[in-house]
Structure 1
Amino acid sequence: MKKNKLITRRSFIKNAAIASSSLAFPSILKAGSPTTLTMLAWYGQAEPDAVEEFERLYNVKIIPKYYVGGEQMIALLAQSPPGTYDIIHADAEYVQQLAAANFLEKLDAEDYPFDDFYSEFQNFPGHWIGKDLYAVISRFGFLGISHNLDVVSVKEASSYKLLWDKKLKNRVGHFDWHLPNLGALSLLNGNSSPYSINKTSWNNLKKTTLSLKPQIRGFYDYGGVLSSLKNGEVSVIPGIGEWITGVLRRDGANVTTTIPEEGGIQFTESFSIGKNSRKAELARKFIQYMAGEKGQYRLANLNVFPAIIPSKKGWKRMIAEKPMEAKHLGMFNGSGNAIDLIQRGRIHIRELPHQQSLEDWNDFWSEYKGS
């Protein structure tokens, strides 16, 4: 039985206690003091490299509230009056729950340039409930094995079995979040739908994960992942991707991300309009900008970390202006590019667990860290 059902606003509020521990637009907006837009987002989405052009064109100042992780996002929304946030930036796996809890406004698909998106992202799972659209994909990326090329070759990283290699004892790190890590190890166990597994498969996944603990050096946040991989404290980190290694290569680190034969996990980011936003029209313009070529190019190259974009025009510009970065991200023409990997079934969308509760996965991850 599927336990992870869409939840109500009341259950969001209950969970919050736990989670808390030139573009066409009226020219009048360009006169006078800037209008403000509030945004709830992962870090980086409202920094100058992302929004400075939009702010200048529309005489807008975007005021961000940054969160770390879906649980904190849920807590902030549950504790805030409707209309507090004009724009909500979220991972795709949370969108349906946010919509069901009445935190998001419905969107009109005709307002956004979906015809410029690759077909895989024109009707992206989780962004729709029936015929109602609640989010527009902004960017995405693949998670596999990120590794130091001086220690581990691409060939060696072609399977998650590498993680148990004797030479990597005390040299494997974890980004401290259960969804990407358990998803990757679920693929190793042969689960074609890594987040929809029965009781037997769940127990096997827990055994596989616990058996890896002797190899683990530590559990890290974003900054810790960057520093530990850069300074050689760890040589391999599963469940992360170019969002880390792309940043490190900017500083000259000899690292890369390999998608193992068992497959990789896709993270997906999106923008929505907050429920009862008093500036919904301006928020819509923001999402339109970010879905267009200029916004997509910016999103692919954010200082916080690079990512793949769904826009064909954005790909074309990346290939022309930043060919090496585009290649590393998989935005190139021909076999082996990001869209090809998706079409070949090698990439699996990150989801919330289907047959266990999110608390089951979180509790096990805590157990694993403490073992």
Structure 2
Amino acid sequence: MTDSRSNAGEGGVSNGSGRRAFLVAAGSVGAAGLAGCAGRREVGGGGDGGDGGDGSDGGDGGSDGTTTGSASGDGNTLNILTWEGYGTDEIVSEFESEHDATVNIKLLSSDPEGFNTLQSGGTETFDLLTLNNTWAQRHAQAGTIEPLDPADYPERENFLERFQEPFSSFRHDDEMYALPTRWGWDTLTVNTDQVPEEHYQSYETLWTGGPNGEYEGKIGIMDWPTWNIPKIALSLGYPPFEQTESQLEDIRSKLVDMFSNMNAVYSGTSAIRQAFLQEDIVMAPVGNFAMSQLRAEGNDWVDVVIPEQGGMQWTEGLCIVKNPTNRELAVEFQRKIISAQGQYNVAWKPSAKSPPVNTESFDMFDDSQQQALMFNEDGFDAAAEISQNTTPYEFSPITDTWTDLWTEAKARAGI
């Protein structure tokens, strides 16, 4: 997921037991080097990292490990590059006990970071990688991850229909390269106490400011072009991932109008959540991952809605890095994550919560947890409808053009 999210610090705003470790290559990193490591990513981007690559939402704190150590080449050790949630004590301690193993976790801040780490020698260190749906094929092409054998994962039979094999986002040359683990949607978040339903049926409110301009200065946005531009394209009736020159001109115009209505542009999800809590903003084109914590804390007024034009969908996948130290152990960890209990832990334990893919886990969540994860009183029964009304993210070949449009539009709007 591409942009300046890769270097975003938490809270940034521009106005106008086992031995668990955080690893960097074969060395270790102290607390200062871990700042902002856990968080959501931006879709798309090139493989070069930095501001042109997939970014993080700046992280929500809450590390998945407790100690600092170095990578081990021991055949009973797993070194994992991953997002927040996959290295919780509930998962790692039990796995280590069950397999007499050591699990070392390094939290990623962006998909390009993971790509660059493996390309620059990380395949000699790491065994497993978590990524977004737009990155599996690029890793496969680069030879940094290995094909998976679908027969190794019988739990797939219990996955939501959307994520049943073959799941095209995770396939390359007719082979499976990643195992779906969590998912969600990026659409529109509103304060339903402040915004009537008829005002959030369309993304157009973002650039009109409302029928009477009542939301001018009350809208916020994350600084993520590749999450937001596809939604604008959908609103205009254009393809979400590639547009003509004339279509891009329309998008440019809408971006300028949109930024003119913004209270602030946020680089971290904690900051935008706080803005909602303080009622600095009442609307933002952001999705369930960023807002699930607020809903889980009992803020029923926050709702992630799907406008009439639909929205975008992301999926996380767990991959085996090329030539793992112990492939069988790596497969066992993947199985742990997609088991019913593993799915509960990955979905609910992190501060940023997201729905599981394994339907066998659904009964482990009570009604309030399901409603918080789905932003819907039907809980997981709403999953099929939500997945059908959202479009899986794809890598756009014009990502750089989008980034330029975004930057220019902010400047023209005085942000």
| Cα distance, 1:232 vs structure 2 | 2.0
Are 1:339 and 2:384 matched, yes or no?
A: yes
Residue 144 of structure 1 corresponds to 187
Letter matched to residue 400 of structure 2:
E
TM-score relative to the length of structure 2: 0.74
Are 1:185 and 2:220 matched, yes or no?
A: no
Cα distance in 2 for residues equivalent to 1:262 and 1:65:
38
* Residue 53 to residue 365, structure 1, CA distance change in 2 (3 Å): farther
Q: Please list, as runs of the form range in 1=range in 2, the aligned pairs for 1:122-271 lying within 5 A after superposition.
A: 122=164, 123-163=166-206, 164-165=209-210, 166-191=213-238, 193-220=239-266, 221-238=268-285, 240-253=286-299, 254-271=301-318
Are 1:47 and 2:80 matched, yes or no?
A: no
Letter matched to residue 48 of structure 2:
N
CA contact (8 A) 1:154 1:258 kept: no
Residue 335 of structure 2 corresponds to 288
Residue 302 of structure 1 corresponds to 349
| Cα distance, 1:198 vs structure 2 | 2.8
Cα distance in 2 for residues equivalent to 1:16 and 1:186:
25
Cα distance in 1 for residues equivalent to 2:231 and 2:282:
17
The answer for unaligned runs of 5 or more in structure 1 is 1-11, 22-32
Q: Deviations over 1:300-356 (max 9, x none)?
A: 21322221222121224335684543553687465xx1212334xx211112214x2
More helix by share: 1
Identity %: 22
Cα distance in 2 for residues equivalent to 1:117 and 1:55:
26
| Cα distance, 1:365 vs structure 2 | 2.5
Indicate the SS of the match to 1:262: coil
Are 1:115 and 2:161 matched, yes or no?
A: no
Indicate the SS of the match to 1:147: strand
| Cα distance, 1:270 vs structure 2 | 0.8
CA-atom RMSD, angstroms?
A: 2.8
| Cα distance, 1:278 vs structure 2 | 1.0
* Residue 148 to residue 321, structure 1, CA distance change in 2 (3 Å): closer
CA contact (8 A) 1:13 1:75 kept: no
The 10-residue stretch of structure 1 (316-325 or 35-44) with the greater mean CA deviation from structure 2 = 316-325
| Cα distance, 1:298 vs structure 2 | 1.6
* Residue 73 to residue 226, structure 1, CA distance change in 2 (3 Å): farther
Letter matched to residue 268 of structure 1:
T
CA contact (8 A) 2:295 2:372 kept: no
CA contact (8 A) 1:319 1:331 kept: no
The answer for unaligned runs of 5 or more in structure 2 is 1-44, 56-73
Cα distance in 1 for residues equivalent to 2:250 and 2:52:
28
* Residue 13 to residue 241, structure 1, CA distance change in 2 (3 Å): closer
Letter matched to residue 120 of structure 1:
R
| Among 98, 101, 108, the residue aligned to 2:142 | 101
Aligned residues: 341
* Residue 331 to residue 16, structure 1, CA distance change in 2 (3 Å): same
| Cα distance, 1:17 vs structure 2 | 7.8
| Cα distance, 1:161 vs structure 2 | 1.8
